[in-house]
Structure 1
């Protein structure tokens, strides 16, 4: 698992870190430049968000929002394509990483932290996409042997996991009362627990759970047969032999034999019911653990996930652009893209104990789009000075709306 692109600092923190490297008289000017840059990014992402939320409303209409006009099946199909394409693009812009099928399969094969083994009803599921962000190693204390033993285990944890699942129209696994798509965002998900994020998962009894129920059941069954049912078995055997013709003499059932037979059968029936109840109660307990596990990890649902992604993608873009500008502006000489990339990454490793893979291409592309990047004849990069950079951003902001012109 390689280094993530995700930088675990908020936009305002990045502004403060960069401004702290400047002379005191330049810090306020840099902060103003950052606010102008963030305002332009916010305007662009707001328009992008309106478009994707309009498409998502056709795919998964909100109950409290009316839809204008008649929406056809073709309209929904086109809208779903737009939603899925924009979901992938926004997830990547927000520095999420796609989780491949092999990693999900491993989660099913390995035991989860809540000790639940699950099976997924895949029939009717058309599209599945999982994304993760914020990988870390954690340790947790787990109990075993009915709490008598405690041990610490180390596991890989994901700060956020994004789940998108699309169902076919006739999907039997589609949860009742839901739309044709499921969009959820979870937080603090152990890698081995990814399978819990599927809808309509079924709890499977682990070998240990089966032994916990089965071994005592066999022992107590032998005791019941030996103490309660053995006296009735002889009578039942004679009756059966008479009924199938292996015995000519009929069996005489007096009151004592009849009471013994009924008591034995009742005891055995009660034993079977108790074992069935134990099995059901064990599954209910496991489902309760699963529900509690998901309840405290659910972060957002449906259209709210897009609001979250839009905000995260906007912050990531501003951070990348600010860092690229700041380190080019403070460099003594023009830099190559590779030198700039290494300078930013090493600064975070050395000063803030943070390792990440900086998206140098995205930062430079944004500076070039804003007309803030310069390049000499040797391909080395620089930026326009801060006062001129602010003038260019201000002119771009003024030209967003040209009504009076």
Structure 2
């Protein structure tokens, strides 16, 4: 299983873990430093969120919010570019990994955990992007042999899956998205085998097994109906047709009894056809219900709410990276290279907390440099300002925010 950048601890937990390693006399000061750092990062993401949500409002206007002027087609096109660029950047900052075409093809090729055959209609889709976070191996019991037995299967699951779909505009008032538009959704606990069901334009199709379960009994019962109900009634019509065609010399008389028998046979056969069609429709409705329930319990957020979720996750990830980078550089006996810092942090979580992840020291170093906390005593090696001085520098940053 691949190693992700995502660290499955909240920033409060990371702060507590770091503070627990410090002498009692330094803990309060370190916690204050962590609060100041989180406030500065939060302010920056607040401005970033306002910008992307303003752009998203042009791409997918909220029905309960008014605008001060009508957006042109060019405005919407520019806003969509901003939305897509910021979505990719925020997903990366929040430790999501983009699902490439090869992974999607692999997911389509695997058997779905939900016993539904799906077909994706991408005719009206202009752009589709999928992102995932939190890869794990899970097991689940599923029904087998028509529900008579159960078996345990192992599968790859994604803790979070982000879906972005942009539609083409057709100027069709009956289309789901007549002027284009976008769809933005966030799901949780999604098996890799079931990725295709997250497409907005997915259609339920009958599996071969479903067709057999309906078709075989229908053929057998249809033969029985033909033999017992309709053949005897149609016999009179066959004889009459043969007489009209000159294939039979003896005439046929259609009395009331023959007509009643023919009508009863036709009614029985018509009822049989209606019952089989109803079975087919009910089976398809049942499959669609299964799909809807599966998506309902996995849907986490939609539309603009997805950006709020991403902003929070990206902000928390940056605070954790920066705090860990500062803590381990400060606690080292001498300056560290980027590789040494990576190795120390990953080893600490692996041995102390049984957590494996790929720490990005470069992102933490970049954030410390922006905050004027990073020191490079020799090329390629890093240390940080002492805790009292670091707090003073953060305080100056906060004072100068609105200047």
Summarize deviations over 1:360-396 as a string: whole Å, max 9, x none. 1111111111111111225221111111111111111
Shift of 1:103: 2.0
Partner of 1:49: helix, strand, or coil? helix
Q: Give the equivalent residue in structure 2 for 1:8.
A: 8
Q: Give the equivalent residue in structure 2 for 1:253.
A: 254
Q: Is the 8 A contact 1:108 1:117 kept in 2?
A: no
Q: Give the equivalent residue in structure 2 for 1:168.
A: 168
Distance 1:233 1:48, change over 3 A: same
Distance across 1 between alignment mates of 2:183 and 2:235? 60
Partner of 2:128: helix, strand, or coil? strand
Summarize deviations over 1:57-109 as a string: whole Å, max 9, x none. 01111111111112111000000000000000000000000011222223333
Distance across 2 between alignment mates of 1:107 and 1:323? 36
What TM-score, normalized by structure 1, do the two folds share? 0.95
Distance across 2 between alignment mates of 1:331 and 1:351? 18
Summarize deviations over 1:12-55 as a string: whole Å, max 9, x none. 01000111111111111111111111000000000000000000
Summarize deviations over 1:239-285 as a string: whole Å, max 9, x none. 44445554465432122222221121111111111111111000000
Q: Give the equivalent residue in structure 2 for 1:325.
A: 326
Q: Give the equivalent residue in structure 2 for 1:221.
A: 222
Q: Does residue 188 of structure 1 match 2:185?
A: no
Distance 1:111 1:244, change over 3 A: farther
Q: Give the equivalent residue in structure 1 for 2:366.
A: 365
Partner of 1:393: helix, strand, or coil? helix
Partner of 1:285: helix, strand, or coil? helix
Q: Is the 8 A contact 1:345 1:355 kept in 2?
A: yes
Q: Tell me how large the CA RMSD over aligned residues is.
A: 1.8
Summarize deviations over 1:145-173 as a string: whole Å, max 9, x none. 34321111111111111000001111879
Distance 1:263 1:178, change over 3 A: farther
Alignment of 1:49-88 (within 5 A): 49-88=49-88
Partner of 1:376: helix, strand, or coil? strand
Q: Give the equivalent residue in structure 2 for 1:299.
A: 300
Q: Give the equivalent residue in structure 1 for 2:375.
A: 374
Shift of 1:5: 0.7
Q: Give the equivalent residue in structure 2 for 1:263.
A: 264
Partner of 2:378: helix, strand, or coil? coil
Distance across 2 between alignment mates of 1:226 and 1:100? 57
Summarize deviations over 1:202-246 as a string: whole Å, max 9, x none. 101111111111111111112112211221232233344445554
Alignment of 1:1-400 (within 5 A): 2-170=2-170, 175=176, 180-242=181-243, 246-247=247-248, 249-400=250-401
Distance across 2 between alignment mates of 1:11 and 1:236? 84
Shift of 1:174: 5.2
Runs (5+) with no aligned partner, structure 2 = none
Distance 1:79 1:239, change over 3 A: farther
Distance 1:249 1:137, change over 3 A: same
Distance 1:357 1:244, change over 3 A: farther
Q: Is the 8 A contact 1:324 1:360 kept in 2?
A: yes
Distance across 1 between alignment mates of 2:105 and 2:240? 55
Distance 1:387 1:237, change over 3 A: same
Aligned length: 402
Distance 1:148 1:48, change over 3 A: same
Distance 1:323 1:171, change over 3 A: farther
Distance 1:239 1:91, change over 3 A: farther
Q: Is the 8 A contact 1:125 1:171 kept in 2?
A: no
Shift of 1:303: 0.6
Distance across 2 between alignment mates of 1:179 and 1:302? 15
Shift of 1:310: 0.4
Partner of 2:356: helix, strand, or coil? coil
Moved more, 112-121 or 138-147: 138-147
Q: Is the 8 A contact 1:60 1:179 kept in 2?
A: no
Distance across 1 between alignment mates of 2:386 and 2:244? 105
